[in-house]
Structure 1
Amino acid sequence: MHSNDAIAALLALGQETRLNAYRLLLMQGSKGLRVSEISKRLSVNISTLSRHLGQLERTGLLQSWRHEREIIYAVHDSGMQELINYLLENCCRESGEACERADPSQKT
């Protein structure tokens, strides 16, 4: 990931509607949700929501596909992982400490 891509992804998540949409879709997993359902759950009109979802998709955080007359959005798994990896790429390098990456599957 390049710094411009990371900046675009962080800017996209820095808006309340987009952050709420991303978090909602994160809970849904790979099956995603129809735009109409996202609109209903977030109480945002479809035309406004479509612009927000499009921006998240352009940054690589979401993916979409058409099912009949509806567009379905889901989290693009590697998008957020690439962003996190970019942010942690040089973690603790100057201090000489080992950097532990956050892994929610590992319990301490």
Structure 2
Amino acid sequence: MDTESALAALSALSQSTRLAIFRLLVRHEPDGLPAGDVARHLDVPQNTISAHLATLTRAGLLASQRRGRLIVYRASLARLRDLMLFLVRDCCAGSPELCAPLVAHLGSCCPGGETGAG
């Protein structure tokens, strides 16, 4: 991930509703949720949710797939991984033992690895 891509992702996540959407969709991996369900879970009007979903999709944080009449959104776990790695790439000035607690905690959140949309 380059700086511009990281900035786009961080910018998309820097709004409270979009952050809530992304976190909700991460919790619903790998199945994702239709846009209407996202709106209901977060008590956000449908037209507002659409604009937020579009912003997150443009930033590469979400993927969508048509299933019949529904558009189902999924969090891009690969993009999340890339962003996290970008943020900690130069962690601890070359002293990996200082980053060990962070790496261990991140590793334990997704046992068995992840694939994600994206």
Q: Same fold (TM over 0.5)?
A: yes
Query: Could you list the runs of 5+ residues in structure 2 that have no partner in the other structure?
Result: 111-118
TM-score by length of 1: 0.89
Q: Percent identity?
A: 37
Give 3-state SS (helix, strand or coil) of 1:31's partner: coil
Which deviations, in whole Å up to 9, do the C-alpha atoms of 1:48-105 show, x marking residues without a partner?
1111011111111111011112110011120100000101111122xx4213323225
Name the counterpart of 1:76: 76
Q: Is the 8 A contact 2:64 2:74 kept in 1?
A: yes
Q: Is the 8 A contact 2:26 2:77 kept in 1?
A: no
Name the counterpart of 1:56: 56
Query: Which has a greater percent of helix?
Result: 2
Query: Could you list the runs of 5+ residues in structure 1 that have no partner in the other structure?
Result: none
Q: CA RMSD in A?
A: 1.5
Give 3-state SS (helix, strand or coil) of 1:71's partner: strand
Name the counterpart of 1:37: 37
Name the counterpart of 2:95: 97
Q: Distance in 1 between matches of 2:50 and 2:21?
A: 11
Q: Counterpart amino acid of 1:53?
A: L
Task: Show structure 1 runs of 4+ deviating over 6 A.
Answer: none
Q: Distance in 1 between matches of 2:30 and 2:59?
A: 18
Which deviations, in whole Å up to 9, do the C-alpha atoms of 1:9-64 show, x marking residues without a partner?
11111101101111111111110001011111111111111110111111111110
TM-score by length of 2: 0.82
